[in-house]
C-alpha cells in the first residue's frame, strides 16, 4: 500500500511540532513497515531490525524540527535508518567472527550449491550475496530494490551524486549476476 501524499506528511509533521503526538503516531504507522523491511534486508536479524526501527523513529521525533523538507519524509527516515544500520555494522565488525567478504567465492559457491536445486533457497542465496556487496553498493541496491526509492533520493541519503548512485547500483547488479551464475554452475 502506497503511503499518503507528502502534503499529508507535511501536515502531520507540523501537527507534531505543534504538540499533537498522535500526528507522529500516524507517521510511525505509515512508515514503520517500510523502515523495518529496509533495516532487515540490511542487517538480516529481526531483533536488530526492530531496534533500528525504534531508534530511527525516536531520532526522527527528537530531531523533527530539523527536518528541512528538501527530501520526502520517507527519504529522511531511510537516511536515519541507514545510519543506524551502519552503526550496527561497525559494532559487529569489531567482533571476531570471520566476515563473509573473507570467505572465498569457491567456498560460498560450494556452500550454496544445494540451493541451486531448491528454488525457495534462492531467496536466502540472494540475501547472502547482497550481504557480500561493498557497503555503499549494498545500501544503494537495498534502497532501490526493496525500498523503491528513486536514484535522486538514494543519492541524497548516501551523500553522493545521482549518477554515482546509478553507477553503484549497476556495478552491484552486475556483481550479483556474476555471483549467481557462479552459484548455478
More confident residue, 7 or 77: 77
159 and 133 assigned to the same domain = yes
- Does pLDDT of 67 surpass 60? yes
The SS3 of residue 109 is: helix
pLDDT at 115: 45
> Where does the chain show beta strands of DSSP type E?
none
Please give the Cα distance from 96 to 132 (Å, whole number). 17
Query: Which domain-ending residue is among 97, 132, 156?
Result: 97
- Tell me, yes or no, whether 79 and 136 share the same domain: no
- For the chain, what is the mean pLDDT? 82
pLDDT one-digit tens code per residue, 78-92: 999 999 998 888 877
The per-residue pLDDT for 103 is: 52
Question: Which residues span the domain enclosing 37?
Answer: 1-97
**C-alpha pair distances (Å), 161 with each of 130, 152, 156:** 22, 8, 8
pTM: 0.61
Q: How confident is the model at residue 104 (pLDDT cuts 50, 70, 90)?
A: low
More confident residue, 140 or 99: 140
Instruction: Tell which of 97, 121, 137 closes a domain.
Output: 97
Judge residue 176's burial from the number of C-beta atoms within 10 Å of its C-beta, 0-12 exposed, 13-18 middle, 19 or more buried.
middle
Q: Are residues 79 and 5 in the same domain?
A: yes
129 and 52 in one domain? Answer: no
For residue 96, the model assigns a pLDDT of: 47
Cα separation of the two ends of the chain? 38
Count of structural domains, the chain: 2
Considering the domain architecture, whether residues 85 and 54 belong to the same structural domain is answered as yes
Amino acid at each position: 500500500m502506497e503511503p499518503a501524499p507528502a502534503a499529508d506528511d507535511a501536515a502531520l509533521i507540523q501537527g507534531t511540532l505543534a504538540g499533537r503526538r498522535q500526528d507522529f503516531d500516524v507517521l510511525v504507522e505509515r512508515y514503520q513497515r517500510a523502515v523495518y523491511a529496509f533495516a532487515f534486508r540490511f542487517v538480516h536479524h529481526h531483533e536488530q531490525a526492530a531496534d533500528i526501527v525504534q531508534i530511527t523513529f525516536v531520532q526522527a521525533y527528537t530531531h523533527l524540527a530539523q527536518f528541512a523538507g528538501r527530501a520526502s519524509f520517507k527519504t529522511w527516515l531511510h537516511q536515519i535508518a541507514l545510519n543506524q544500520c551502519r552503526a550496527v555494522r561497525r559494532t559487529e565488525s569489531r567482533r571476531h567472527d570471520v566476515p563473509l567478504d573473507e570467505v572465498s567465492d569457491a567456498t560460498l559457491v560450494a556452500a550454496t550449491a544445494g540451493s541451486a536445486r531448491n528454488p525457495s533457497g534462492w531467496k536466502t542465496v540472494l540475501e547472502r550475496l547482497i550481504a557480500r556487496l561493498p557497503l555503499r553498493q549494498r545500501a544503494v541496491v537495498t534502497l532501490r530494490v526493496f525500498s523503491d526509492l528513486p536514484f535522486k533520493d538514494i543519492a541524497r541519503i548516501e551523500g553522493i551524486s545521482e549518477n554515482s548512485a546509478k553507477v553503484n547500483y549497476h556495478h552491484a547488479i552486475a556483481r550479483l549476476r556474476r555471483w549467481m551464475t557462479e552459484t548455478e554452475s
